[in-house]
Structure 1
């Protein structure tokens, strides 16, 4: 009986860690799925923010152009209003000149009539007869000649004044036409300025909405990233209790090829040659080359991840994990147990990549280390 009890107690001690590990594994898988979902949400929101930033830039450029149009409209309006004032002033001067000339014309006309009346009153018909029948030849020629000169001079004066009146009147009509044209121009520019101002208000309102939406999404991203980090830390804590299956200097190569870019600082080949820290190594390989797990472990992420493109993360226990990026196709699922040498995916060029190759990382406690020290 004692022997049976001892056997039961021994078996119980064996089963407890098995059930405990099973619960831990289930929690890890669940949290990994939750982490992947949150990362997908973060990537989607970041893409939306990027699109909003493009819209924001376009609207800012539109508003800048509208401001230039508005400045031009204000300058045009100022010039047109100045021209209108000059035209109005010119019309006042011309109206005054015309009024004076017309008054002079009336005065000269009356004066001319009065002068002729006085002459005819002075020279009576009897005198005309005496002049005609007199023997004084000079008188008979001089008097009519004098009258003719007098009349011609006055007619010339009247014609000159009349011509001046007509010229001024013509100029006045031209300037009145110019005034109407300038008034229409002022009205047109005023309406254009009003339209531009309304358009600017509309774009500024839209820009404000875009910025509010962007701020909101950035807040959501920050919240999701914080939650993602918390889940990641939880996975690390849970995974750290497992036996370490990856040892320094003993990892198999994921693909056979030459290292085209090492670990550490480099000029990024896509982002304008900006100096950035390369968190892994790039191994050259043909498109579609099978990628193998460098050690046994559990897949904790398999999906799209920003610049990495199609990416896989394998937890090897003891806070050691490996990362495989830019895959053309993923052949495993999150939560799947894999062995060293298993095919997990295929070489591609997804994400921020210049061509087919494998980006490979080794991380200790989540921090990247030089993979060359860990590979065989």
Structure 2
């Protein structure tokens, strides 16, 4: 791929990256809207739960009232049955007694009506006094029983009305509860739908972000390769001189001839010779660095950097922008050095490369 083709691919990938980032931003806005809806629905469900709890308490109280009404009705119904049975039995007994006493009077009046004093067709005074007293006492007893029966019947009627009211209330509350439960079910289903949409959006965002990172990495690589191709074989020489030690394995002259990998080239030059930047760049290091002595490192972009070591003096500052051919220091012999020379390196993404392939 030539430089022109590389530029076209980079532009295409940058456009693709921009489109994906726009999609990501749009999806993130949608997620925020969904999160807002989710929060709103959660609040509604929380309020529904409160209403449901309140309704269940109301229903529990109403059912307790209904139970009380049913219990009281049962008791009063039993009492009323007993009263009516007693009243009937005593009435029959007393009617029989009255018939025996009044059979000589040949009356056709209802004995009970006579007994209660509602009407009479004979002379009640003709009955002996003690008999009259006995029947009056019994009549009062029957009246008392009948009055109690009437009172119980009235109470029973009241409790029947209460039971009916409470039954209607229970039905009303149950309908209300059913409505609230239905509303909660609908809101919960809607909430799950919102959460499903949000999960899908988030998954799409994650996919787009991963793809964006891959495209970004590819763009950086293409840009780095483009810069490397543009600069490879086109860098100016930092100093004019001959190469005294090449790139690759060698025996180190100061370490007992130990075999070591030489990460750059040594260029012979007299002490104080100006050292120049091989291409425009930014100073990312300027100072002392172990065996390199006084060192300057320039970043040329695209992952390409150059190193200038063993300088006697440095004349640039950190983060300073320099031009091609600009003096950055002077040849020296600082650090681990056998004499005045320039140790020069070219690195691509931190990896040392043979400088002779990059210099003009």
Alpha-carbon distance in 1 for matches of 2:40, 2:214: 37
Q: 2:102 aligns with which of 115, 118, 125?
A: 125
**2:51 is the alignment partner of 1:76:** yes
Q: Give per-residue Cα distances to partners, 1:245-283, cap 9 Å, x unaligned.
A: xxxxxxxxxxxxxxxxxxxxxxxxxxxxxxxxxxxxxxx
Q: Give 1:191 shift.
A: 1.7
RMSD: 3.8
Aligned to 1:39: 14
Runs of 4+ in 1 over 6 A off after TM superposition: 138-145, 370-373
Change (3 A) 1:372 1:111: farther
Whichever of the two has the greater Rg, that structure is: 2
Contact 1:66 1:200 in 2 (8 A): yes
Aligned to 2:208: 217
Q: 1:159 aligns with which of 147, 150, 156?
A: 150
Q: Which moved more, 1:49-58 or 1:83-92?
A: 83-92
Q: Give 1:130 shift.
A: 6.7
Q: 1:318 aligns with which of 276, 279, 283?
A: 279
**2:203 is the alignment partner of 1:203:** no
Q: Give 1:158 shift.
A: 1.8
Change (3 A) 1:130 1:227: closer
Change (3 A) 1:109 1:44: same
Q: 2:301 aligns with which of 363, 366, 369?
A: 366
Q: Which structure 1 segments of 5+ residues have no match?
A: 1-25, 245-316, 322-362
Alpha-carbon distance in 2 for matches of 1:319, 1:180: 88
Secondary structure of 1:365's aligned partner = strand
Secondary structure of 2:279's aligned partner = coil
Q: Give 1:187 shift.
A: 1.9
Contact 1:131 1:140 in 2 (8 A): no
Alpha-carbon distance in 1 for matches of 2:8, 2:123: 141
Q: Residues 132-147 of structure 1 correspond to what in structure 2 (within 5 A)?
A: 132-133=125-126
**2:73 is the alignment partner of 1:98:** yes
Q: Give per-residue Cα distances to partners, 1:206-256, cap 9 Å, x unaligned.
A: 122112211111111111111111122123224436689xxxxxxxxxxxx
Contact 1:56 1:211 in 2 (8 A): yes
Q: Give 1:121 shift.
A: 3.0
Contact 1:77 1:189 in 2 (8 A): yes
Alpha-carbon distance in 2 for matches of 1:132, 1:143: 14
Q: Give 1:169 shift.
A: 0.5
Contact 1:105 1:161 in 2 (8 A): yes
Q: Give 1:320 shift.
A: 5.5
Alpha-carbon distance in 2 for matches of 1:109, 1:149: 16
Secondary structure of 1:106's aligned partner = helix
Q: Give 1:151 shift.
A: 4.9
